[in-house]
Amino acid sequence: MKKLLYILLFIPVLIYGQTAAYTQAGNTNAPEGNSNTGLSLDSCKSLALTNNYKIKESASEVSQAEQVKKSAFTAYFPKVSAGFSAVKMSDYLVKSSIPQMNLPVYDGNPANIPLATQFTYFPGMPLNLIDYMNFGFAMAAQPVFMGGRIYYGNKLARTGYEISSEKKLMTETEVLVKTEELYWNIKALTEKLATIDSYMKLLENLNHDVTLAYNAGLVQRTDLLKVQLKQNELEGNRLKLTNGITLSKKALCQHIGIQYDSTLMLTDKISVTENPVDLYVSPEEAVKNRNEYRILEKAVQAEELQKKLAIGENMPQLAVGVAGVYTDVMDKTDQLGMAFATLNIPISDWWGGSHKIKQSRAKVEYAGYRLNETTELLSLQITQVQNELNQNYFYIGNAEKSVAQAQENLKVTKDNYDAGITGMSDLLEAQSVYQAALDSLTEAKCNYQVSRAKYKQAINDYK
């Protein structure tokens, strides 16, 4: 009877081992849920590039910088302006009067006016002038020399546009790497959940068999309690995994801009076929391709242009133009055309301007220091990410060995249990070790995929 019990106990162990190995191998026929919604990693990346808010924000910044660049280009053309004013007054602008007087009679000879003997009486009259006026003008001014500010202003606007474009590329890569991180995290949790489910199935069968054996008086109650305690532990772990999967799926859906679906299934397999040695790039060489390096390099150029603009503010400014004026005062209209040239020499600004130029030179030096420091830090970061990639690749090989050893240990422990050499605690412990080894292998493979994406991001070779 006891021999029969051992056989019954051994059957679910075999079932568990086969199921766990089957799941770990990533067989496409293994069920991942009852979902009809499948997403590959590439489809998630495509959705993220289209829907992610950070990418939309960076695209908006590029659009703004492009408009600034186009606006700066218009400074090369003449400044044309026109205006018109119409004034109606509540009273006359000029108010006076001519007093009453006796006026000499004019006989046609101006020489006789002072000697006139005849006069005529003038009663006086008010004299009110200008109660409305109209004024219009049109003017075009062409800058001839502005101290280089138009030229360098355009170069600065183009540099700003290039920096925004580099930031957009960097944001896209960050979003894609984050997509991979979320994707593989869900895959790891899903695989662990499958391992727990197969283990729980084993314990259900084991609980049933040990219960029968206990009722028959073949085993002690402690063996049954140990199985039940392990079941309780797994149920708690399963709840944590289920909650983690739900939260991770919601995070992925928000990240790629789709509606959350609890039945969402990720279709890519967890596989590692690439040796990190094949990805190696010298850190010193890779730094020059980084978006961060190019952004800071352009920041140095921008500070150089700011310095030249500061110099231009203290140089003479020359402009030429034409203008036309139209006036209408008390029904008298007139038109006037003119050509003009203006020369502005900011003499009093030279003192303060010299300090502003020195400040700009200090900013150029500061930007250069930041570029040098960032270059060194980026090189260190690339080396660190490369080390993490190599470590995770090593962990995969180590985890595969651990799975084989744990499987062998489970078999030996089961044989010893069947022979009555070891107890139920040893058997459950061996099964826990095997489950932990499978989880470690899954985690190592997913971590490798994430670290691979981060390394390709670090060397700016992410596609």
What pLDDT score does 19 carry? 37
Which residues does the chain have with pLDDT short of 50? Answer: 1-36
Beta-carbon contacts of 329 under 8 Å, excluding residues fewer than 6 positions away, are: 130, 132, 133, 134
Tokens of 418: 């069947």
Helices (H) and strands (E) counted in the chain, each on its own, are 9, 10
Dihedral class, residue 148 (left if φ above 0, else alpha if ψ from -120 to 50, else beta): left
**DSSP line for 379-420:** HHHHHHHHHHHHHHHHHHHHHHHHHHHHHHHHHHHHHHHHTT
Q: How far apart are CA 41 and CA 17, in angstroms?
A: 29
What pLDDT score does 22 carry? 33
What pLDDT score does 287 carry? 93
The answer to whether 195 and 178 have CB atoms below 8 angstroms apart is: no
Q: How far apart are CA 427 and CA 406, in angstroms?
A: 12
Cα–Cα distances in Å, from 18 out to 15, 82, 194, 199, 397?
Answer: 5, 87, 13, 11, 21
Q: How far apart are CA 72 and CA 430, in angstroms?
A: 73
What pLDDT score does 11 carry? 34
Q: What domains lie within the chain, and their CATH numbers?
A: 2-88+142-317+348-458 (1.20.1600.10)
What pLDDT score does 291 carry? 93
What pLDDT score does 28 carry? 34
- Residue 36's CB is within 10 A of a number of other CB atoms, namely 8
The pTM of the whole model exceeds 0.95: no
